Amino acid sequence: MLRTIILLAIALIPSLARAQSCSFSVSNMNFSSVDTLSGSQTNSTATISMDCLGLVGQRILICPNLGAGTGGASSATARQMLNGANSLNYQLYSDSARSVVWGTYTWAYASRAPALALTPNILGAASGTATIYGTVFGRQGTTPPGSYLSAFSGAYTEFRYRYSIGNNCDSGFGILAPSPSFTVSATVAPNCLVSTQNIDFGSTGVLDANVDATGQISVTCTPAAAYSVSLNGGTTSSPPTARKMSKGAETVTYGLYRDAGRTLPWGDSSTPGSTVPGTGSGVAQNLTVYGRVPPQATPSAGVYTDTVVVTVTY
């Protein structure tokens, strides 16, 4: 009987010695290609894998503190990925709604690490996963194209754990685990957005003199992106200065130009040299389209229209 007690005591010693032994790994978060011109955000996730050994039934509180990363943080709401001197704002969250920033007790901002927990089973082991939710914000049009990165390791991934029934991750109390490493990355590709303002020649009687009007094309392209704007020949595929507005079989001839003097036609590749070039800056660049209806035989009264396709090549 005495031997049985001694053997049981020896068998329990390894379990006691390895109480609160935890290890962690984190997958990389890759946003792939992001659209910095529109207002839409780009989302991605990473996964924390947790493995712990401890006393059976004893709850292990885990505080996975995440700092700014090598890209830094510009504010409480925006971490940054870097490409040289250029930055791209993003953030990490502990909830799928992306409303609770994932932080650390070591930085000046109010956000702290979420409280995670594992409870060892009858074998003294426990494992689980947790999700890190990430967002790259839209409307970062002045961010140049390129590959952006922020790395997390060492002091940026301070994972601590301890036996506790509470959820307080506001301090560095607890055992410090070996630091897991992961990266957050994204690619900003050259991109352009375009919007237009119609040309309205108004109401005119006899077409015995020039009738002028203007419209506008607004082009927003990522910085340094070279682009050109072309206008097709309308529904009748006509030359730049002889486009046709139609009402049934009747037409009114008009032209579109790049200059206020109406001497430089605005067309497409079918009319070499007639497109408008530009270089993106990340903000809207407004281009005036100069229209003219020249003197011509006046057709019957009515509304005459044409549809011109704007193409931005970059």
pLDDT of residue 19: 57
Which percentage of the chain shows pLDDT scores above 90? 93
Residue range 43-53, pLDDT digits in tens: 999 999 999 99
65 near 113, Cβ under 8 Å? Answer: yes
- Mean pLDDT to the nearest integer, 111-122: 98
- Checking if the pLDDT of 6 tops 60, the result is no
Residue range 57-86, pLDDT digits in tens: 999 999 999 999 999 999 999 999 999 999
User: How many CB atoms are located within 10 Å of the residue 184 CB?
Assistant: 27
The two structure tokens encoding residue 77 = 């709401």
Prediction pTM value: 0.85
Amino acid at residue number 285: Q
Report the alpha-carbon distance of residue 137 to residue 236 in Å, rounded: 42
For the chain, give the mean pLDDT.
Answer: 93
118 near 109, Cβ under 8 Å? Answer: no
Secondary structure element (H or E) that encloses residue 6, with its range = helix 2-17
Residue range 238-249, pLDDT digits in tens: 999 999 999 999
pLDDT of residue 20: 82
For 61, the 3-state DSSP assignment is strand
DSSP codes, the chain = -HHHHHHHHHHHHHHHHTTTEEEEEE--EEEEEE-SSSS--EEEEEEEEEEEE-STT--EEEEEEE---TT-EEETTEEEEEETTEEEEEEEESSTTS-SB---TTSSSS--PPPEEE---TTSEEEEEEEEEEEE-S--TTSPSEEEEEEE-GGGEEEEEEE-SS---SS--SEEPPPP-EEEEEEE---EEEEEE-------SS--S-EEEEEEEEEEE-TT-EEEEEE--GGGT--TTSEEEEETTEEEEEEEESSTTS-SB---TTSTT-SEEEE--SS-EEEEEEEEE-S-----SS--B----EEEE-
Residue range 216-240, pLDDT digits in tens: 999 999 999 999 999 999 999 999 9
- Checking if the pLDDT of 9 tops 60, the result is no
Of the chain, the end-to-end C-alpha distance in Å amounts to 86
Residue range 255-293, pLDDT digits in tens: 999 999 999 999 999 999 999 999 999 999 999 999 999
- Mean pLDDT to the nearest integer, 179-183: 98
